[in-house]
Structure 1
C-alpha cells in the first residue's frame, strides 16, 4: 500500500507545481479514500475476532479530513499511518533477526548412506541408526553421534558461543550446529522431528506469533485512549466552532506510540536473548522474567552438571595421579558406562595420551579388565578390584573418601597391584555460586533447592551456596506444590531439566529449562515444552544475561510508551487550542513515532553490568 500511496502523492505534487490545484486535491482525496477503505475493512475484520485497536483513530482522522475538505491533511495522515506500519514492520524484522536466522537455517534434505552410495533424502525420511554425511558448511540435520575421528562445529547460532567446538569419535552432536571443519559422518540417534533443532524451531515459530501482555494491554486501553481523544477533539470543536481543530487533534493521536513501541521493545529483547543462547518462547515470558522474586532450582542437571565428573585422585606407591587416570581411561574406552565416559573425558581435558586396550572383559555394573600397554589393568568398584588380588593398601588410601554422599569410587589395579583410585561426583557447576549471588543482587529474596536426592547429598551440594531452604526426597508433585507455596514471596521462577521437573516448570510464573544439556535426551524435551524459557547452552549464567535483557527491554518499552503518549497528549492539547494545524500535527506525530521506535530498538543492545 505504501509504494502506491507514494506514487499518488508524487503525481499530486507534480499537478500542484503545474498549477492544477483541483487535480492535486482530487488525487489527495482519492489516495486518502483508498487507504481509508482498506483500514475500515481491517477494523471490521478485527471487531469480528473480538479485537479492538487504535486503528479506529486513524480511520476517524482520515474520514474527518475528507468530510471537512482537508484533503492534503488526509493524505498526510494516510501516508503517516502506512509509513508507521512499514516502520514498525521494519523494526520488528530488525529486532527478530536472531530468531529468524534460526528458522532460515533449517535444512530440508540430508545425504544418507544406502547400499554403499550417498543419496539426498528429505529430512523427514531420516530414522535413528541412519549414517549421514555432513559436508563443510552444512547444518547438522539431526541429533546423533560422531561416526568418525573428529568434527569441528560452529554452535554460535544455538548457544551464542563464538568459537568452534572440536568433538571426538562417539561424541553427541546437536542438530542445528554448522560444520566448520572437514566433512564427517554422523550416526542419527533421533528422527528429525524429535531432534534438538526441530524442537527449537517449533519454539521459535511459536515465539514469533506470540504477543506480550504489555502489547495486549495496549488493546485493552485503546477504548480509553479513544474516548479521551474524541472528548478533547469534540471540546476543541465545540468551544472554538472550528472543525479543523477536531481534525488536528485526531491527526496527532494517529498512530499511537502505545501500539508501536511495546512490540518492538519486547521482540528486541527476545531476539537479544536468542543471540545469547537463551530462547524465550513469548513476550509474556520475557516480562515475567523481569519480575522474579523467588527461585526454586532442581539439583541434578541444573545446579550440578547432571553427569559424574572426576573430582579427586589417589595414586598408589610407584604411580602418579595422571598415570592412574591414563590407565583407567585407556581401558574404559571399551566401555559404554557413564562412569567410563567421565574418566575418558577427564583424561582428554588433561591432554593425556590414551593407549588402545585389548582383551577386554566387562562385568556389567562391576568393572572392566584388559591389556593396556602390555599390562593387565582392572578398573571398577573396590570389591571388583580387590577380588583380583589388589586389596592391599586400598582401604587406607581412600579412607577419607568413605561415606561421602553422592560420590563414586573407582579403583585401579595394574598387574595385580593396587595403583590408585579415582573419586567421581556430580559436581556443582563452576558458575553456580556466582549465579546465585547475582540473583540476590537482582532482588530475588528466596532461593530454594528442591531435589529428589536424599537429605545428606542435598545438604552437601547446597553447603555454602546461600539457599534459604533445602528440600530433599521431593516427588514431581512435591516440587509443583513448593512452587505454589513460594508464590507468597512474589513471582516464582523454577529452573529444571528433566521429566520430573515438568510439572513444577509449568506451575511456576516462569519456568526455565536446561535444554542445552542437563539430563539430556527426552528429559530435556519434556522440560523444554513445559518451560517458558530454554537455555540452549549448558550454562546457568546465561540465565542472568537473559534476566538483565528482560528487565532492560521492559523498562525501555515503558519508557517509550510514557514518552510517546506524553508528547502526543501535549501535541493534542496544542492542536485543541489552535496552535497546530492538521498538517503540522501530522508531521509532529511522525517525528514522535520514529523517536519511540528508535528508542525501543535500544533493547537490541547489550545491557550494562548489573542492569
Structure 2
C-alpha cells in the first residue's frame, strides 16, 4: 500500500511557547557572543601590531591586553559552571596562561592564547550547530484540539478538556487524541507508530483504541476512556523524558586527557618557577601548554566527520554522538520501517488455472481504484509500479472494511477478504481451503464472474539490502545484533529467519523496548535504530539512538542522536566508517600535538623559550594539527575495503 502517513503521527511532547519577541534566549546570546570573542582578539592583535609599526609601542600592549580580557572573563564563567557540575577540563590551563601573561605584562602572548582558545570554542559550537540545523520543528505537531459531540453539535475543544465517556469524532487522517473505544462503525487504524505492526488493523464497535494511532479509514466515533494526560501517548512522553534523564552524558574527547595534562603542566610550570625563581619561565611553560591541539583538532575533526556523514544522508547531532557512533559494539533494531519497508506490498500472486498473475492483479487494482482502504491503495500502487494498464470500474458496491465489487472490462469482479468473497461466489468452500499463507501477511481474495480467481498476498517485506547491511555491520565489529519489536513473535521470527540475529524480542511495549536496551548494554555500548513513536524511549535510553528520519515519527527523530535523512538502513554503515575515521584522525592530532607541546614545555622550563616564542611555536603546532584534522573530510582507505 502507499506509505502510511507516519509523518502525520504527531509529536509526543507539548510544543514550547515561543520566546518573547523582546528578549533573547541564553542560546541566542551564546550564538552572538562566540563569534565576537573570536573577532575581539583578532582585531586587538592587528591593532597592536599596527600601533607598534606606527611608533606607538605602549599602545600595542594596551590593545593586546584589552582584547584578551573579554575572552578570559567568558572562559572563567565557563570554568565556574563546569566546576559546579563536577567537571574539570583543559580550559583551566588556558585560563591560567592568559591570567599569568596579563599579570607579568606578556600581553602579546596573552592575546595569542585568547585568539586560539576562542577560535577552538567557536569551532566546537559550529560543529553542534551544523549537526542540528536540519532539525526543524520536529515536536511541533501535537494535536491541540479535538471534536466533541455536545447537545447534537460538534464542538472543537482543547485536548485537556476531554473527560472519560466524552464522544469524539476522529476523521480520516486524524491521530486518535486519547485512549478510548470505538463508538460507531468500523475503525481502520495504522498502529505502526506504537506497536510496530506495519499493516492496518480493524476495530469494531466497543473495541479499545490507543491514542497516537492514525485513522486511515472512514471517520468514526471514539468514546474516551482516559484523559489526555493519562493516555498511551502521554505515557510514552514520560518514558522518553525518564530515559533522557538517566542517560549518562559522555565526556568530550579533549577532556579525557584533561586531568593528566593539567597536573603535568602545573607540576612543570611550578617546578620551573621554584627552581629558578623566574615567574616568566613558568609563564612560558603555561603558554606553550595551552591545549590548542586538543581545543582545535578535536572540533575540526568532529566538524569534518559530521560533514562527511551529512554527505551520505546521515545527520549526526554533534561531537558526543559522533564519538559514540565510533565505539558502538551492540545493535538493537526495530522491525517495522527499519528492517522492513514499513508498508504492505504484494509479495505473492496465486491465480487459478487460466488466469495470469498480471491479469489477476490488474483486475483487482482496477476495481480498487474506487476504494479508500489502505490495502486497496497498496494494490493500485503495486499495479502502477508494474505498469499494468488499469480500467475504469463501474457498478461499484463496497462494504467498508470487507471488500468491493463492480464491473471491470465487462467482467464482474469481487475483491476483499476471504469470507467476503466466499459470500459472493458459489465455490466459497474451495476458497477457504487454500489457507497456507506467510505469518503476518494480508490475504486478498479475488473472484471474476462468480468464480474464484486467486489470491493476492501482501506483507511488509524485508528490505532488500537488510542481510547485506547486517553483514557489513558485523564486519565493522558490531558483535551482537538483536531485534526488538512490538509485532507478533511469529511475524518477527519469520521476517528475520535468514538474518541470523543474536536475539529476537517480540510483543514489546515501548517500556519493554527500553528494558531490552538496558539489558544489552552488558555486551558493550548500544546503538538502537528505530522509526516509530514506540521506539522513542528506547532511542533516548540507548548509548546512541538512530532514527529513520525520512518516514519515521517526529518523536523518534527528536529522541535520537543520529537521524538517517534518507529511507535506507545501509546509510548507517558509511556513517560509522566516517565516525571511526574522524575519531582516529582526532586522536592522531591530539597525540602529535600534545607530544610536541610537552617537548616545548620542557624546553621552556629550561629557559630556552620566552612566552611569545612559546606562543608562536604553539601556533605552528596548531596549524599542523588542524591540517591533519582536516584529513577527516577524506575517505579512509579502510572504509573502501
| Count of aligned residue pairs for this structure pair | 499
Structure-2 residue corresponding to 1:138? none
Contact kept? 2:48, 2:61, Cα under 8 Å: no
Taking the TM superposition and a 5 Å limit, the aligned residue runs for 1:223-234 are: 224-234=260-270
Measure the CA separation in 1 of the matches of 2:424 and 2:469.
46
Taking the TM superposition and a 5 Å limit, the aligned residue runs for 1:44-193 are: 44-51=76-83, 54-65=90-101, 68=104, 71=106, 74-83=107-116, 85-86=118-119, 89=122, 93=126, 97=130, 99-100=132-133
Aligned to 2:425, the other structure's residue is in SS state helix
Structure-2 residue corresponding to 1:478? 512
Confirm or deny that 1:383 pairs with 2:419. Answer: yes
Q: Which runs of 5+ in 1 are unaligned?
A: 105-127, 130-210
Confirm or deny that 1:595 pairs with 2:624. Answer: yes
Structure 1 residue 66 displacement after superposition: 5.2
Taking the TM superposition and a 5 Å limit, the aligned residue runs for 1:402-421 are: 402-421=436-455
Measure the CA separation in 2 of the matches of 1:451 and 1:60.
53
Confirm or deny that 1:526 pairs with 2:555. Answer: yes
| Cα offsets for 1:519-539 (capped at 9, x unmatched) | x5xxx2333343333323222
Note closer, same or farther for the CA distance 1:486–1:598 as it changes in structure 2 (3 Å cut). same
Contact kept? 2:44, 2:67, Cα under 8 Å: no
Most deviating of 3-12 and 540-549: 3-12
2:59 maps to which of 5, 27, 42:
27
Measure the CA separation in 2 of the matches of 1:288 and 1:33.
40
Note closer, same or farther for the CA distance 1:47–1:348 as it changes in structure 2 (3 Å cut). same
2:532 maps to which of 494, 498, 503:
498
Measure the CA separation in 1 of the matches of 2:422 and 2:440.
22
Aligned to 1:295, the other structure's residue is in SS state strand
Structure-2 residue corresponding to 1:563? 592
Confirm or deny that 1:323 pairs with 2:355. Answer: no
Structure 1 residue 318 displacement after superposition: 3.8
Contact kept? 1:98, 1:272, Cα under 8 Å: no
Most deviating of 237-246 and 443-452: 237-246
Measure the CA separation in 1 of the matches of 2:479 and 2:277.
59
Structure-2 residue corresponding to 1:235? 271
Contact kept? 1:96, 1:270, Cα under 8 Å: no
Structure-2 residue corresponding to 1:352? 388
Measure the CA separation in 2 of the matches of 1:55 and 1:403.
64
Contact kept? 1:95, 1:268, Cα under 8 Å: no
Structure 1 residue 323 displacement after superposition: 1.9
Note closer, same or farther for the CA distance 1:14–1:298 as it changes in structure 2 (3 Å cut). closer
Taking the TM superposition and a 5 Å limit, the aligned residue runs for 1:449-464 are: 449-464=483-498
Contact kept? 1:95, 1:604, Cα under 8 Å: no
2:575 maps to which of 541, 546, 549:
546
Measure the CA separation in 1 of the matches of 2:318 and 2:431.
56
Structure 1 residue 465 displacement after superposition: 0.9
Measure the CA separation in 2 of the matches of 1:470 and 1:9.
62
| Cα offsets for 1:306-364 (capped at 9, x unmatched) | 22111111333443222221221121122222211221121122122222323322112
Relative contact order, CA 8 A, sep 6+: which one is greater?
2
Measure the CA separation in 2 of the matches of 1:17 and 1:481.
68
Structure 1 residue 7 displacement after superposition: 5.7
Structure 1 residue 569 displacement after superposition: 1.0
Contact kept? 2:338, 2:531, Cα under 8 Å: yes
Structure 1 residue 446 displacement after superposition: 1.9
Note closer, same or farther for the CA distance 1:386–1:64 as it changes in structure 2 (3 Å cut). closer
Most deviating of 52-61 and 411-420: 52-61
| Cα offsets for 1:41-99 (capped at 9, x unmatched) | 22442344344654554454455445555x5xx31441353155336636864896575
Measure the CA separation in 2 of the matches of 1:490 and 1:579.
48
Measure the CA separation in 1 of the matches of 2:332 and 2:134.
33
Structure 1 residue 462 displacement after superposition: 1.9
Structure 1 residue 31 displacement after superposition: 2.1
Aligned to 1:506, the other structure's residue is in SS state helix
Measure the CA separation in 2 of the matches of 1:235 and 1:423.
80
Taking the TM superposition and a 5 Å limit, the aligned residue runs for 1:415-430 are: 415-430=449-464
Aligned to 2:529, the other structure's residue is in SS state strand
Contact kept? 1:96, 1:268, Cα under 8 Å: no
Confirm or deny that 1:374 pairs with 2:417. Answer: no
Structure 1 residue 101 displacement after superposition: 6.2
2:523 maps to which of 489, 508, 512:
489
Note closer, same or farther for the CA distance 1:282–1:392 as it changes in structure 2 (3 Å cut). same
Structure 1 residue 430 displacement after superposition: 0.8
Confirm or deny that 1:313 pairs with 2:349. Answer: yes
Structure 1 residue 34 displacement after superposition: 0.6
Structure-2 residue corresponding to 1:290? 326
Contact kept? 2:367, 2:406, Cα under 8 Å: yes
Aligned to 2:327, the other structure's residue is in SS state coil
Note closer, same or farther for the CA distance 1:579–1:348 as it changes in structure 2 (3 Å cut). farther
Measure the CA separation in 2 of the matches of 1:282 and 1:454.
36
Measure the CA separation in 1 of the matches of 2:400 and 2:566.
33
Aligned to 2:500, the other structure's residue is in SS state coil
Structure-1 residue corresponding to 2:499? 465
Measure the CA separation in 1 of the matches of 2:342 and 2:372.
17
Structure 1 residue 277 displacement after superposition: 2.7
Structure 1 residue 427 displacement after superposition: 0.9
Measure the CA separation in 2 of the matches of 1:456 and 1:12.
75
Contact kept? 1:561, 1:596, Cα under 8 Å: yes
Could you say what the CA RMSD is over the residues aligned between the two structures, in angstroms?
3.7
Aligned to 1:590, the other structure's residue is in SS state helix
- In the superposition, the TM-score normalised over structure 2's length comes to 0.69
Contact kept? 2:48, 2:64, Cα under 8 Å: no
Q: Which runs of 5+ in 2 are unaligned?
A: 1-36, 138-169, 172-247
Measure the CA separation in 2 of the matches of 1:5 and 1:284.
29
Measure the CA separation in 2 of the matches of 1:476 and 1:5.
51
Note closer, same or farther for the CA distance 1:230–1:368 as it changes in structure 2 (3 Å cut). same
1:583 maps to which of 605, 612, 623:
612
| Cα offsets for 1:180-210 (capped at 9, x unmatched) | xxxxxxxxxxxxxxxxxxxxxxxxxxxxxxx
Note closer, same or farther for the CA distance 1:56–1:442 as it changes in structure 2 (3 Å cut). closer
Structure 1 residue 436 displacement after superposition: 1.2
Structure-2 residue corresponding to 1:179? none
Note closer, same or farther for the CA distance 1:363–1:607 as it changes in structure 2 (3 Å cut). farther
Note closer, same or farther for the CA distance 1:515–1:359 as it changes in structure 2 (3 Å cut). farther
